[in-house]
Structure 1
Amino acid sequence: MPNRLASSTSPYLLQHQDNPVDWWEWGDDPLAEAQRLDKPLLISIGYAACHWCHVMAHESFEDPQTAREMNDAFVCVKVDREERPDVDAVYMEATQAMTGAGGWPMTVFATPDGQPFFCGTYFPPRPAHRMPSFRQVLASVSSAWSERREELRASAASILAQLQERAQLPVGERPPGEDDLRAAVAALAREHDGVRGGFGGAPKFPPSTALEFLLRHAARTGDATALALAGHTLEAMARGGIYDQLAGGFARYSVDDSWTVPHFEKMLYDNALLLRVYLHWWRLDGSPLGRRVAEETGEFLLRELRTAEGGFASSLDADSEGEEGRFSVWTPQQLVDVLGADDGAWAAEVLGVTAAGTFEHGTSVLTLLADADPARLARVRAALSTAREQRVRPGRDDKVVTAWNGLTIAALAEAGALLDRPEFVAAAREAADLVLRLHRPGGRLVRTSRGGVAGTGVAVLEDHGDLAEGLLALHAVTGDAALLPVVQELIDTALQRFAAADGGLYDAADDVELVRRPRDPLDGPTPSGAFALAGALLSYAALTGSAAHRAAAERALAPAALVAARYPRAGGWGLAVAEALVAGPLEVAVVGEGSSARELHRTALLSPSPGAVVAVGQPGAGGAPLLADRPLVGGAAAAYVCRGFVCERPVTSAEELARSLGVRRA
């Protein structure tokens, strides 16, 4: 019989609805139940595409005896980390502090009011690799709660106090300046893997925000080192197994240092960020590979992750048929079976499929380490893609996350405009319409929806910042003036409800009940909430002339200056926004209609100037204040290039505008 999770909107929680565990969804009710029964909480945190989450569920949560022991001694709570990143942040910090590491599944034991006293990650069903079995852990914690309860309570209070003290880090006094930005490039150069691309060793995650920073720095300064660092990594990832060589889209990370073998789950946020980075690489450097990967990634998003309601699903699973990667890997014989002997042998050589295999059980992940005959490669890719569609597909987590849809809206809107793919822009607009219609019940932004039903978790800081960023990019492409008041509402709400007394920003709103309020100003795999908000604040200030919003952007960027020279990957998005701050950012107002106005508009969007802001519309029609008092020139469409609302002489030809903006002409 299904448990309480059957009514959840989270696909991850629904994966556990038939467990014999008496699961609760996170909220006030399980904490009240734990206090009533005087039992500790067992908090299990994961996400739908997590391979080891599936493993632990099968080994332990589906086992009746293990479930009985869990139910007898604990109030058991299941948390989708993607739906409740605030809860995940609190307990991940505790797990890392106690164990020196973290990951998912995360297993936390806490007092009835939620204070953690013992943390871990995956526990096997039997002792292995110096790890106790999960049932041994259950027995030990249950015994300790019965016999040493006050000691555990004191330990939990001490842990929280230490975490709170660690959280009082300096927020910084100023945004990154020219010296900081140069130091960040130098630091990334020291970390760069000159052979395989990327920064540091295995496992290698796509350094999306750092790459965006490097491209912006190269665009602003002409720094060849920054461009080379970015280009090397972007090419290595695009040719590696982390990129789906048949149908586009990036996996979560590479388990090795050569980008060959991925962890096969595909996340919306990775692909949205990387689509934009590859697009910007092509815009700056003219890379054909950058353009191809940007287009294919956009196609992947529309084909694989678009939901029936018009939003974008969170992820594709790593597993199919109970095995990680089974959908994606090949043997030489399988290639021959699909392609025939000649093309099969050729494809094995070109795509890195060996007899020994690069993955497991003699299978290989497809790579593209050398250029090949484009026509033949296209034919082979199409045939293999068709054959692969007969396999059992990985599962999809189809919840719609506000922040990640914001990133996707921005990427698709820009890509559609620059690559002449109107279906991308249409998809971005539809996703924006869905989020704005569904994710604001009662006027309060929520984190997720699924199947057209809004979730119950309120939005965190990154939701406000990333959605505002997406709407601003969509405004630049479409000129939709109705988006700007929504952006103002989002960023002003964020400044009001997430502000800290010291001028920094919390990740959770001021009314969210947690044992401590999470606050991490630095990037993870996505831009931090603070840096995401900073980018939106800066763009909005440039469009409207608001000095208050520009000042707020500078305050939010300050933590990036503290890490620029030491660990720039932790502040990549903040450094990218700082590049826009140093550059102005550039403002371009395009007025008029017809083909000449469209050509001016696209030329403006092609500007590689960091964070350039573009407004388009008719003279006197309202919209962005940047358009105010910008008349046609001799009755013709015109473009005004401005910095701080101080504009150069208007131009009426795309060629003149391209010269002014430093646009690369194909």
Structure 2
Amino acid sequence: MQGELLATSCLTNNWCNQMYRFSYKLWQSNGETLESSGERVLEALRKGKEISASPGETLPSGPDVANRCYQQLAHSYEEEYGGFREAPKFPSPVNLMFLMSFWAVKRASSEGAEALQMALHTLRMMVLGGIHDHVAQGFHRYSTDSSWHVPHFEKMLYDQGQLAVAYITAYQVGMYACTLCIRALLPDIVEGAAGGATQGDISIHPYGVKEQGNVDPAQVWESEGQNVLIVRYSVELTAAHFGISVDRLSELLSDARAKLAKVRKARPPPHLDTKMLASWYGLMLSGFARVGAVLGDKALLERAERAACFLREHKWDEEGQSILHSCYRGNNMEVDASPIAGFLDDYAFVVCRLLDLFEATQRVCWLQWAEGLQLRQDQLFWDSQGSGYFCSDPLRSDADGAEPSANSVSAMNLLRLSHLTGWQDWIQRSQQLLTAFSDRLIKVPIALPDMVHSVMAQYYTLKQIVICGQPDAEDTASLISCVNSLFLPHKVLMLADGNTEGFLYQRLPILSSLVPQDGKATAYECENFACALPVTCPQELRRLLLE
């Protein structure tokens, strides 16, 4: 059977056909030896991936692990253009989110300031670079050079979702990245511009476009005479160069990008993979939810909820009470579900994103579904020896890469759920998971920056921010908006609406003792539900949360 599959996949390739014939003869003559060698390879892989907590082993120190992760990232940081390696250079959102979380707990230190600078400079250089599609928006998978100029022209859903969260986090901490063409398309003379410059002249200037092309042919095959848009001059410098206002320049650039997009649409489009994975879909859902919450954009929150409803309709097996790994969009836009059962990543990523959606909308149905999915994930994937979750027996995901590992995400999911539902077993399970990874966290935390975030959350203790008020009241919205405007990596947010028969009150009876003060919506900042004095003013709440 294996030989038939190999032959089918390689049928059109002569080299593959030769390899198939060679492999088949080798298997026929020496199959037992090959099988034995394969078993030894698998056993070596199992041992290399063995992760377990030794008797009496404790959770590693949050500050120590975080400091070492910061130091390792700082050592690999590329100062001129940002990022953490030479070409090819990947966005690595997990690194950026760790650095901003590290800054959040070390704001007053030089290390905290440096961590924030590394994250913001990387994000800024990426948005200016060619890895960012300045015409149709979004980010390509990676840059083929160290300056983020020439990308690998492929966009991945998991990158868009994670980078949306990274950029909105940067916005919360004070980075205002502007979103940012060609003469033949844009011939109109711009009134008042120096030297009778056309819109094309002005539009290509900030992007470093050249007549001979701005891509080195030695760097990229078949690139002679080609340009990849990359911001070389700021809008302020460009406006001054042509003697026009920044506002006028912004209008011209916006119009130029729209015209370029129109021309691009007339070309044969690149291939679109119609496969929709539950895990990647979850990452994008979180992007909509987090950005919508911070900006107070109801349209984005509605899109996030529609995405969650799509997951429920097409990637949830009600009979089997399990997630389906994927579904496909057909030629007539119909959706066909795959019978493949969900993997660990699917459960972990969807649970995390449902928790984000709950905090963004305060609709309890998303928290209830997240709780149910976590219970199912525990049944399917938890190691009975208490050493984390299996991604495939007996292996565990043990590194954060282009996506965070499922164990890293699960450690934080368990902690958040325990504070939102009051189930203490989940805190213990999160601690067991992190303890099992102690050796890796202590020696090479740079391999698990997202898990380091969970270790920090355990050390600093998640804060529970409870807003008591009516869901549609203006004063309630003001307090929630205040919380959402701040980057608070170690918190959960919940709305106590007074419905003592509701899900949250049943899970957390202590909510009944937290009530609005003087008829106004009231905020409580709590640690294990030991709460500070209530506040009703958004400015006072902001001061309290930043202390």
Shift in Å, 1:176: 5.0
Shift in Å, 1:171: 5.3
Q: Is 1:500 aligned with 2:383?
A: yes
Following superposition of structure 1 onto structure 2, how do residues 38-77 of structure 1 map, counting pairs within 5 Å?
39=3, 42=6, 63=12, 66=13
Shift in Å, 1:437: 2.7
Look up the SS of the partner of 1:148 in the other structure. helix
Judge conservation of contact 2:478–2:538 (CA < 8 Å) in 1.
yes
Counterpart for residue 368 of structure 1: 231
Q: Deviations over 1:252-311 (max 9, x none)?
A: 111111111111111111110110011111101x2110xx56xx9xxxxxxxxxxxxxxx
Following superposition of structure 1 onto structure 2, how do residues 194-593 of structure 1 map, counting pairs within 5 Å?
194-222=79-107, 223-284=112-173, 286-289=174-177, 292=178, 335-340=182-187, 342-354=198-210, 355-358=212-215, 359=220, 360-372=223-235, 373-441=249-317, 442=319, 443-451=321-329, 452-508=335-391, 517-558=394-435, 561-564=438-441, 567-593=444-470
Counterpart for residue 546 of structure 2: 662
Judge conservation of contact 1:590–1:627 (CA < 8 Å) in 2.
no
1:610 maps to which of 479, 489, 493: 489
1:560, 1:387 → 2: CA distance? 51
The residue identity in structure 2 corresponding to 1:454 is A
How many residue pairs match? The answer is 497
Cα separation, partners in 2 of 1:426 and 1:225, compared to 1, 3 Å? same
Judge conservation of contact 1:171–1:558 (CA < 8 Å) in 2.
yes
The residue identity in structure 1 corresponding to 2:70 is V
Following superposition of structure 1 onto structure 2, how do residues 170-181 of structure 1 map, counting pairs within 5 Å?
170=52, 173=57, 174-175=59-60, 177-181=62-66
Cα separation, partners in 2 of 1:559 and 1:254, compared to 1, 3 Å? farther
Shift in Å, 1:565: 6.0
Consecutive unaligned residues in structure 2, runs of 5 or more? 188-196, 236-248, 330-334
Shift in Å, 1:549: 0.7
1:505, 1:135 → 2: CA distance? 42
1:155, 1:213 → 2: CA distance? 41
Shift in Å, 1:558: 3.6
The residue identity in structure 2 corresponding to 1:194 is E
Judge conservation of contact 1:462–1:533 (CA < 8 Å) in 2.
no
Shift in Å, 1:489: 1.5
Look up the SS of the partner of 2:232 in the other structure. coil
Counterpart for residue 643 of structure 1: 527
Runs of 4 or more, structure 1, over 6 Å off, are none
Counterpart for residue 192 of structure 2: none
Judge conservation of contact 1:460–1:507 (CA < 8 Å) in 2.
no
1:479, 1:399 → 2: CA distance? 30
The residue identity in structure 1 corresponding to 2:176 is P
Cα separation, partners in 2 of 1:560 and 1:202, compared to 1, 3 Å? farther
Look up the SS of the partner of 1:217 in the other structure. helix
1:42, 1:273 → 2: CA distance? 36
Shift in Å, 1:564: 4.5
The residue identity in structure 1 corresponding to 2:513 is D
Counterpart for residue 241 of structure 2: none
The residue identity in structure 2 corresponding to 1:520 is S
1:175, 1:529 → 2: CA distance? 20
2:455, 2:490 → 1: CA distance? 9
Bigger mean CA offset, 494-503 vs 637-646: 494-503
Look up the SS of the partner of 2:526 in the other structure. strand
Following superposition of structure 1 onto structure 2, how do residues 57-136 of structure 1 map, counting pairs within 5 Å?
63=12, 66=13, 133-136=15-18
1:627, 1:464 → 2: CA distance? 29
Structure 2 length-normalised TM:
0.85
The residue identity in structure 1 corresponding to 2:43 is A
Shift in Å, 1:562: 3.6
Cα separation, partners in 2 of 1:620 and 1:194, compared to 1, 3 Å? same
The residue identity in structure 2 corresponding to 1:247 is A
1:140, 1:405 → 2: CA distance? 41
Look up the SS of the partner of 2:364 in the other structure. coil
1:496, 1:405 → 2: CA distance? 23
Look up the SS of the partner of 2:198 in the other structure. helix
Consecutive unaligned residues in structure 1, runs of 5 or more? 1-32, 45-56, 67-124, 126-132, 297-333, 510-515
Look up the SS of the partner of 1:361 in the other structure. coil
Shift in Å, 1:237: 1.1
Judge conservation of contact 1:245–1:368 (CA < 8 Å) in 2.
no
Q: Deviations over 1:193-242 (max 9, x none)?
A: 01111012111111101110110111121010110111111111111111
1:576, 1:407 → 2: CA distance? 17
Cα separation, partners in 2 of 1:507 and 1:251, compared to 1, 3 Å? farther
Judge conservation of contact 1:588–1:640 (CA < 8 Å) in 2.
yes
Judge conservation of contact 1:413–1:474 (CA < 8 Å) in 2.
yes
The residue identity in structure 2 corresponding to 1:531 is S
Cα separation, partners in 2 of 1:546 and 1:41, compared to 1, 3 Å? same
Q: Is 1:148 aligned with 2:25?
A: no
Counterpart for residue 332 of structure 2: none
Judge conservation of contact 2:51–2:436 (CA < 8 Å) in 1.
no
Judge conservation of contact 2:65–2:445 (CA < 8 Å) in 1.
no
Look up the SS of the partner of 1:433 in the other structure. helix
1:254, 1:134 → 2: CA distance? 30
1:43, 1:455 → 2: CA distance? 25
Cα separation, partners in 2 of 1:368 and 1:596, compared to 1, 3 Å? same
Q: Deviations over 1:83-117 (max 9, x none)?
A: xxxxxxxxxxxxxxxxxxxxxxxxxxxxxxxxxxx
1:280, 1:661 → 2: CA distance? 16
Q: Deviations over 1:498-517 (max 9, x none)?
A: 122442234446xxxxxx54
1:565, 1:261 → 2: CA distance? 36
Cα separation, partners in 2 of 1:385 and 1:41, compared to 1, 3 Å? closer
Cα separation, partners in 2 of 1:346 and 1:176, compared to 1, 3 Å? farther
